[in-house]
Amino acid sequence: MEINRNSPRGLYFEDFHPGQRIITSARTVTESDIVDFAGLSGDFNQIHIDAEYSKKTPYGQRVAHGLLGLSIASGLAVQTGVLEGTIIAFREINNWKFIKPVFIGDTIHVEMNVLETKEMQRIGGGSIVIELDVKNQNEQTVMKGTWTTLVVSNRA
């Protein structure tokens, strides 16, 4: 049997339906993640990189960048494989809320819920609105919102 690495593994537009739930694997946020993200983004805010400064904040310790948490959530969503080879574009982030801090050593995962699908024949697929709930190891929501992605049709 031949396996073609270029064949889509992901779900097609028609495979998504409102109410569908997808839960990702989990990932622990490390000090290295925060330092690397600070270097990549240029955001060297003391709350992220200065342990002594951070002790004097309401959190009492360094906090991961909110956008780092969002980026990790995106990576966890991709690692499920549901969009591998079938995504056309990541279109929107809607109503995103950063609810609780993410600390070094926190382990986060994402619970995704398909809210809406809308066929868009002109692009050869459709729009999928997905609600994301990013949770830590204590099942506390640390951030949430919705994403809109464009996904290819299996009829294209």
Q: Is residue 128 part of a domain?
A: yes
Q: Which of the four pLDDT bands, split at 50, 70 and 90, describes residue 3?
A: very low
Whole-angstrom Cα distance, residue 82 to residue 15? 10
Q: Once rounded to an integer, what is the mean pLDDT over residues 111-125?
A: 97
Q: Which of the four pLDDT bands, split at 50, 70 and 90, describes residue 62?
A: very high
Predicted TM-score of the model (pTM): 0.91
Q: Is residue 131 part of a domain?
A: yes
Q: Is residue 8 part of a domain?
A: no
Number of domains in the chain: 1
Position 6 pLDDT exceeds 70 = no
Q: Is residue 84 part of a domain?
A: yes
**Full domain range(s) for residue 83:** 13-152
Q: Is residue 118 part of a domain?
A: yes
Q: Which of 144, 114, 119, 118 is nearest to 130 (CA)?
A: 114
CA 25 to chain centre: 11
| CATH (domain of 113) | 3.10.129.10
Position 155 pLDDT exceeds 50 = yes
Q: Is residue 7 part of a domain?
A: no
Residue 8: the pLDDT is 62
Q: Which of the four pLDDT bands, split at 50, 70 and 90, describes residue 115?
A: very high
Whole-angstrom Cα distance, residue 38 to residue 45? 8
Q: Is residue 5 part of a domain?
A: no
Q: Once rounded to an integer, what is the mean pLDDT over residues 21-28?
A: 97
Q: Is residue 122 part of a domain?
A: yes
Whole-angstrom Cα distance, residue 41 to residue 23? 28
